[in-house]
Structure 1
Amino acid sequence: MCKSFLGIKLFLSSIMAISILEPIHAQVQKDQFEISWRASENYNGKDNLDLVLVLKNTKNKTVQLDRGDIWFNTIFPLVEKKDSKFELSDKNGNLFCIRFADGTQLKAKDSIVMIYASKYPIVNVSTVPNGFYYQDRVDHSKHYNIPLQAAKIKGTAADQNLFWEKLYDKIQARDQASDSKLILPTPKSIQQKKGQLTLQGAVSYRVDEAFYTEIANLNEFALQFSGISFTEGGEDALLKIVKKAGYGKEAYGLEIDGQGIRMEASTGTGIFYALQTVRSLLTVSDFKATSIQLPFVSIQDEPRYGYRGLMLDIARNFRGKESMLKYLDLMSYYKLNTFHFHFIDDEGWRIAIPSFPELTEVGANRSAMFHNGSTIQPAYGSGAGPTKGHYLTRQDFIEILRYAKQRHITVVPEIETPGHARASIKAMEARYHRYMKEGNKAEAEKYLLHDFDDKSVYSSAQYFNDNIMNPALPSVYAFLGVVLDDFKQMYRDAGLTLEKVSLGGDEVPNGVWEKSPKIMELMRKENFKTVYEVWPYYIQKINELCHARGLQMAGWEEMGMVNQGKGMDVNPTLKNGNIQLDVWNNLVGGGQEDLAYRLANAGYETVYISANNNYFDMAWSTNFDEPGLKWASYADLYQSYTFLPEHFFSTIEYSINGAKFPKGHFNNSVRLTEEGRKNLVGIKGGLWAETIQTVERTDYMLFPRLFALAERAWSPRKDYEDDNAFSLTAFDKDYSQFINKVGNNELKKIAATVKFRLPAVGLKEIEGKLHAKAEYPGFAIYYTTDGRMPTAASAKYNAPIALKKGQVATFVTVGEDGRTSLPTVFTK
């Protein structure tokens, strides 16, 4: 709760006067308030970060503000404040509370203005505060969400014009080819021949009995067509699916000629990917056509990497089973084969574990009632809640596993430990208190995850001070053992075997465990000289826990690192522990740009998840309307495509942050050795969900950037991937062919189910006329000059336009479903 505030006292006569003229509400009503937010007049995003909240009383009667508090979330921490009107205090994890001074009233239809400061600039719509709610100080069950109106922070018209001009120049410079990739991702070997195969009417097929398991996928593919049908045939079938020895696990051959279509592979996985290649050859209109033409091609294909992954976070903001099934389909279309499922974090435990119902009863429920320990606190705009039921049931997860298996995707669950564990800790604390009330201390402590006597002071990446498990407690390992066993059983019930699990291991902050009596006792027992030695001890313990259950442990890069007093560095002692490291930290300018290579070179099995390129929660650009964060980098589609897994430094100067450094700045950074190349088993992208509150926003952040990940993960190394002989011209030509395929073909094929990001419009005035270009092709540009937002009914851009001085033009691209891109506004 907010601490009480002893502020100014109003004179009794004033109170009496108000009472006579206008009765004061004893209780705040559900729709009592509205809140507006804006930057202050002095805000400049640098040395003045003052912001303004305005609380309005929407009712016709005066209300006492000192009977309740206003709570809200914000991505960035705020400066705590106390003045004569209110106190603003940080309540952990960027949950903030406004408590009004005793006696403070708000008259009917009146407002109170509160000025406060952020510790970091507000960069876009995702960094505006959210989740406002009112809560009664005495009766906590009385709480109401408060609607928010937020004003955008925008520069001058000249600043905006310059932004759109720079975008136009980038689009122009990168446009180096008019042709398109034929298939996405690009096959290892492809020969396009003269001629086309026509499919119409009933298309006969014949499937080798070894591949009957792929019949369901073939049927699903066939059902997408409305103009042709597929029927089982004999030796002369037009589509032949043949088993042939000698292909790799995921490899296939595909021949399309005058005789028909022949797919061959040694495994069902290969056949599945051959089917996806045929899908990539099609246009969106083919699925409705009565006659389809496929080019004659001869393809021999296999992936560059065996691990091609996507990490989705549903812990921070929950998305349910149906959306997960959709993304599994999309992954399979583009030959991604590993789904890294992040459903556990500080802000939520999103999967039912039969042995511990508290994990979802408490850990999946965010609400204003968190004070009593029955829920966890609101986060990321969840408001007063509750969010009860925001988790996957056991059956949901089993269905996801089976769905993924049919599409040749492995699901790797992540259980965050020891950091990012607040939801787990609070759930097990609720269990502890339940058993203590029953007088059963032994059962209460059996799975406890933290030391009540720990006085360590720390702040995590998301600004929590109580989110780290205590490695000195045997109950931590008992808890993890039970959770792992429950996961193994769910996989068995899905007809699968759990082989790999991620146990997190990232972002344990400085200061943790330093004042824990239990840790001090462990250090004496193990003869540790510093608290830093607790970290590799913990990693070894949980790795043994996994090995005992026949599991390979995966985790974030810190699992392969150790702090010896000078910061985290590669730990050579665990390289033979069969640990897979997911390496994200290559922040340009952060000093760890070569970390993935150093860990792979040291012998660790490494999966490269480049935060600089493939963290899809990063904002596309500095446009205030673009959602997402920017702590790693801004990342448009070009930035994602510049990721060269084995030659990261080849393109670093062309990345958003790399361009800030002089040429040669990274010459001494470690490069990947031949031995390290063997240990780099794959790449993946990730979408963290702090700013992702809907499935539509998930779509927007993933697409089209996911296509760049798919191309890099599957396709063979390009000639320009060379630190010593990188060619920007060759790269830009390849990128042009890539976006031509994406914009003209692939986005249209997923448009029925995916609300992808539409291309923004770059503008530049040349010789008195305004020229427009879309970021990627395939979408018409529309505009207005009367201040209204353009739609498909507005004027269509076909040629440069002239504007009069003072005139404002607004441009958008429009999708086939009528959606519009973020607007581009130009002022003459």
Structure 2
Amino acid sequence: MKNLLLLAFIAVSLTGIAQKNNFNPRQLAVSWQVLENGYQGEAQSATAFTFVNKNKTPLPATGWKIYFNFGRSVLKAIDGNVTVQHENGDLYSIAPAAGFAPLAPGDSVRIGFTSEAWVVNFTDAPNGLFLVWDGASTGTSLPAVNIIPSTQPKQYLRFKGDKIGLVTAQDLFEQNKNITDVPAQQLTKILPTPVAYAETGEAFALPASVNIAYTAGFENEAAYLRTQLNAIAPNAKPVHAELLKDAADKAVIHLEQGTEPEGAYSLEVTGNGVTIKAGSATGIFYGIQSLLQLVPVNVWAGTSKAIQLPGVKVYDAPRFGYRAFMLDVGRNFKPKSTVKKVLDLMALYKLNTFHFHITDDEGWRIEIAGLPELTAIGSQRGYTATNTDHLQPAYGSGPDVNNTQGSGYYTKADFIELLQYANQRHIQVIPEIEAPGHARAASRAMFARYQHFMAAGDTAAAKEYLLHDVQDASKYSSVQNWNDNVIDPAMPSVYHFMEKVVDELRNMYAAAGAPLTTIHMGGDEVPAGVWEKSPAFAALKNSNSNVKTTEDVWYYFYGKLNNILQQRRLFLSGWEETALRKTKLDGKPFRVPNPDFIATPFQVDVWNNVLGDGDEDLAYKLANAGYKVVLSCVTNNYLDMAYYKDFDEPGYYWGAFIDIDKPYGFIPFDYFKNAVVDKNGNAVDQSLFVGKQRLTDYGKSNIVGVKGLLWAETLVDEKRLEYMLLPKLLGIAERAWAKDPEWATADKAAMPQLYRQAWNQFVNRIGKFELPRLDYYGGGYQYRIPVPGAAVINGAVTANIQLPGLVIRYTTNGKTPDTKSALYTGPVTTKGTITFKAFDTRGRSGRAAVIVNP
């Protein structure tokens, strides 16, 4: 009998193995849709996968898990006879429960689950699905998820009382209604807006063999200009001014020493040539960017070889000395070529600080000599059963460690090359090493190093750079749902690690000949519960009378980091939390500016001014207290936020919806004044700002500049990066460089009309000069093309566009417009469905607007 039972068990097992061997996960089609936001009246959503078996064999009832990434906290499965389990971070798994039946060929199964908060657009959807058989060390990707759009109110309204539906063509028409076409000859042709700009009516015909005459000290700028002109003036030649003695030679671009202050320049184009004067090489460089913007678009496009530069007289100087952009490559990696394109874009629009977010929970992206584990482990993502060979998948990167979205890093040579590239463009690179939170990649890498040396019997080497106490039993969950992403500042090895990383970074900057004045040391989103059961913390508390609670570890940590950097003649930069001290007011948690670091060079990025969340004035509080503050405000400057509420618009929206009007409309010294809508899209009640700190004159002296930020959770490729970046970055550049426009300082009565006039000029400049140039400049950029607005007026459909200069085409037969479709020139009287699209100069289009003319 026992033998029969054994044979039966073996037979069943072999059948299961055969099914697994014959079942191809790539033939398991999957779709996903929102069932309902505000499910069961709670702040949660119900969504569902549908799996369709397109194999010739069934999906077994047991022996597998399907993994997926999802940016919400999953609560429970609601159907499908499965369990949905949180693994770590944004990774979840689906496993068959006892009642799960084999999925026969052609059959389907719905697996629904609830999750916290709500889901609005397609980038909220789960992604990166893969199947792992029990006992297997690798996973197999499923096909890409078919995301079914939300069309019903219960699917797209976020919560009870949500008044903001999906944006329609009529909504866009209303937003664009005050935008009118301005003739190109009436527009300023340089962006950001110069201090003084005048066209003279003259013109200079730039020949292909133009000489670039430079005075001593401007050799690098002359060489840069030569490179930039190569495509349109291939014989341009830098010549030292003293060697250019032929006074009859009028085909000259002069780069001359002047008396302008740092960063300022003057530019004059006459019929005889071009003269750029500046008191510094930086000013000359900015003058060159303005000169390049005067080159007609058809020249960059290659459709005209005659280069006629308009005669202008320009004086210009930056408002802020710190004009920054942050790119996150930790969450999703971006290759060196992409970073260079970003640097070229920054240079063109006179942004001078590149905040390089090169480490995070999901990836360590830079080679550090002597610590190979940081890149061997910390830069690679894929399925792992042990969490010691590489990091787990995140943001849909899938099971394969060779997926370049999730895996990748910059070698020392790569990083030095990027530093040199930025330095040539007068851009300073600030590296960010996230700590103590957002440090999982580093922590796991150093734990793998620890295990390796412990196995080899070398305890000292194992502990040399360890970043967490292996006996720590603390329980916590970060905002991104990690349970092991915080390093332990109570451990001396943490500071040995930090010194090692800082010194290696300094070595790379020295090799590149690039300036390094500060390192950004993170400091954000450390969850409650950390270190509470850490033996290292207990030992520190016993030996240091200043450390009584885990809150004190925070101040201890940043005090030590501050000393490490100051010893190396660097100052510390960090997120706003690094400058705050936690206390209580009337028994409730309260935060105040930390007095410990005010007297030292200490710079903070303040991101949290979410309207309605209580910290709207935090940037001004810290500046008024004496901290040097970078305005990195989520409400206006987080470029990864979705343009507006539409299922097909990618990006996050937890802080705001952000189109180019948000950074353009930002008033650095009084951002309350132009706050129009909150994070949910509702009109802001100005009483919200009653009792909030305003920026004092002293505080204004501590605002060092403005930063645009692009976090990478949804940046799956370069196309998505450029879509989210442009044209929003141009609003950042305008506000960081140009002086306050008239509307920003006007009274409440005059402000709306002045703003509409200035906005109209700005969007005409973007649509007629900047976007056409970006179609070709630097190899071309895939910026977002806005969706046309459309409305039925007096029986005809009228269309408009946010950025005049883009071409609108339409169809009346239900087909999607292409470059051969009818050109929109006026109201369309045809009845039925009218479909509009906008096109750039290359024939690339944005999304369609559809409207019915009854």
TM-score by length of 1: 0.93
CA 142–314 in structure 1, closer or farther in 2 if over 3 Å, else same: closer
Asked if structure 1 preserves the Cα contact closer than 8 Å seen for 2:69 and 2:394, the reply is yes
1:650 pairs with 2:670: no
Q: 1:106-125, aligned counterparts within 5 Å?
A: 106-125=103-122
Q: Partner of 2:218: helix, strand, or coil? A: helix
Distance 1:734 1:655 in 2: 23
1:98 pairs with 2:105: no
Partner amino acid for 1:679? N
Q: How far off its partner does 1:425 sit?
A: 0.6
RMSD: 2.7
Determine which of 170, 178, 186 is the counterpart of 2:175.
170
Asked if structure 2 preserves the Cα contact closer than 8 Å seen for 1:26 and 1:63, the reply is no
Q: 1:64-83, aligned counterparts within 5 Å?
A: 64-81=60-77
Instruction: Name the counterpart of 1:813.
Output: 838
Distance 1:701 1:183 in 2: 23
Partner amino acid for 2:592? D
Q: 1:790-809, aligned counterparts within 5 Å?
A: 790-804=817-831, 807-809=832-834
Asked if structure 2 preserves the Cα contact closer than 8 Å seen for 1:321 and 1:392, the reply is yes
Instruction: Name the counterpart of 1:707.
Output: 730
Asked if structure 2 preserves the Cα contact closer than 8 Å seen for 1:202 and 1:231, the reply is no
Q: How far off its partner does 1:815 sit?
A: 2.1
Instruction: Name the counterpart of 2:506.
Output: 488
Q: 1:72-221, aligned counterparts within 5 Å?
A: 72-81=68-77, 85-102=81-98, 104-155=101-152, 163-175=168-180, 179-200=186-207, 202-221=209-228
Partner amino acid for 2:104? K
Distance 1:90 1:113 in 2: 19
Q: Which runs of 4+ in 1 moved over 6 A?
A: 41-46, 156-162
Asked if structure 2 preserves the Cα contact closer than 8 Å seen for 1:364 and 1:387, the reply is no
Distance 2:294 2:67 in 1: 53
Instruction: Name the counterpart of 1:317.
Output: 332
Asked if structure 2 preserves the Cα contact closer than 8 Å seen for 1:362 and 1:375, the reply is yes
Asked if structure 2 preserves the Cα contact closer than 8 Å seen for 1:792 and 1:818, the reply is yes
Distance 1:199 1:84 in 2: 70
Distance 2:27 2:77 in 1: 25
Q: How far off its partner does 1:26 sit?
A: 4.5
How far does the alpha carbon of each residue in 1:640-696 deviate from its partner, in whole angstroms, 9 at most, with x for none?
Answer: 211111121110136666853323431322111111111111111010000001011
Q: How far off its partner does 1:227 sit?
A: 8.5
Q: How far off its partner does 1:594 sit?
A: 1.2
Q: 1:730-745, aligned counterparts within 5 Å?
A: 730-745=754-769
Determine which of 37, 40, 43 is the counterpart of 2:35.
40
How far does the alpha carbon of each residue in 1:330-380 deviate from its partner, in whole angstroms, 9 at most, with x for none?
Answer: 110000011100010001111111221111111111111253411111000
Determine which of 554, 575, 584 is the counterpart of 1:535.
554
Distance 1:183 1:45 in 2: 54
CA 41–300 in structure 1, closer or farther in 2 if over 3 Å, else same: closer
Q: Partner of 1:720: helix, strand, or coil? A: helix
Q: How far off its partner does 1:128 sit?
A: 0.6
Distance 1:161 1:242 in 2: 52
Distance 1:513 1:283 in 2: 60
Q: How far off its partner does 1:239 sit?
A: 2.9
Q: Which runs of 5+ in 1 are unaligned?
A: 1-11
Distance 1:382 1:791 in 2: 33
**What fraction of aligned residue pairs are identical, expressed as a percent?**
36
How far does the alpha carbon of each residue in 1:535-571 deviate from its partner, in whole angstroms, 9 at most, with x for none?
Answer: 1111111111111122111111111111114233211
Partner amino acid for 2:765? K
Distance 1:161 1:328 in 2: 35
1:717 pairs with 2:746: no
Distance 1:253 1:343 in 2: 37
Distance 1:446 1:342 in 2: 25
Asked if structure 2 preserves the Cα contact closer than 8 Å seen for 1:227 and 1:291, the reply is no
Determine which of 511, 520, 524 is the counterpart of 2:538.
520
Q: Partner of 1:64: helix, strand, or coil? A: coil
CA 656–192 in structure 1, closer or farther in 2 if over 3 Å, else same: farther
Partner amino acid for 1:209? A
Q: How far off its partner does 1:457 sit?
A: 2.6
Distance 2:252 2:475 in 1: 66
Asked if structure 2 preserves the Cα contact closer than 8 Å seen for 1:762 and 1:773, the reply is yes
Distance 2:207 2:253 in 1: 16
Q: How far off its partner does 1:176 sit?
A: 8.9
Q: 1:322-721, aligned counterparts within 5 Å?
A: 322-387=337-402, 390-527=408-545, 528-565=547-584, 566-653=589-676, 660-721=683-744
Distance 2:61 2:386 in 1: 21
Q: How far off its partner does 1:402 sit?
A: 0.6
Q: Partner of 1:652: helix, strand, or coil? A: coil
CA 32–291 in structure 1, closer or farther in 2 if over 3 Å, else same: closer
1:272 pairs with 2:285: yes
Instruction: Name the counterpart of 2:810.
Output: 783
1:256 pairs with 2:269: yes
1:29 pairs with 2:29: no
Q: How far off its partner does 1:99 sit?
A: 0.6
Q: Partner of 1:114: helix, strand, or coil? A: strand
Q: Partner of 1:740: helix, strand, or coil? A: helix
Partner amino acid for 1:67? G
Judge which range, 331-340 or 385-394, deviates more.
385-394
Q: Which runs of 5+ in 2 are unaligned?
A: 1-7, 158-163
Distance 1:781 1:603 in 2: 51
Asked if structure 1 preserves the Cα contact closer than 8 Å seen for 2:69 and 2:92, the reply is yes
Distance 1:155 1:819 in 2: 30
Q: How far off its partner does 1:303 sit?
A: 0.5
Distance 1:19 1:330 in 2: 59
TM-score by length of 2: 0.90
Distance 2:68 2:465 in 1: 32
Judge which range, 780-789 or 234-243, deviates more.
234-243
Partner amino acid for 1:170? Q
Q: How many residues align?
A: 812
Asked if structure 2 preserves the Cα contact closer than 8 Å seen for 1:176 and 1:733, the reply is no
How far does the alpha carbon of each residue in 1:11-49 deviate from its partner, in whole angstroms, 9 at most, with x for none?
Answer: x99x99x989x9845554352422111223798797572
How far does the alpha carbon of each residue in 1:560-595 deviate from its partner, in whole angstroms, 9 at most, with x for none?
Answer: 111114233211221112111111111111111111
Distance 2:679 2:791 in 1: 21
Q: Partner of 2:528: helix, strand, or coil? A: coil
Instruction: Name the counterpart of 2:3.
Output: none
Q: Partner of 1:88: helix, strand, or coil? A: strand
Partner amino acid for 1:811? F
Distance 1:592 1:167 in 2: 31
CA 281–95 in structure 1, closer or farther in 2 if over 3 Å, else same: same
Asked if structure 2 preserves the Cα contact closer than 8 Å seen for 1:69 and 1:97, the reply is yes
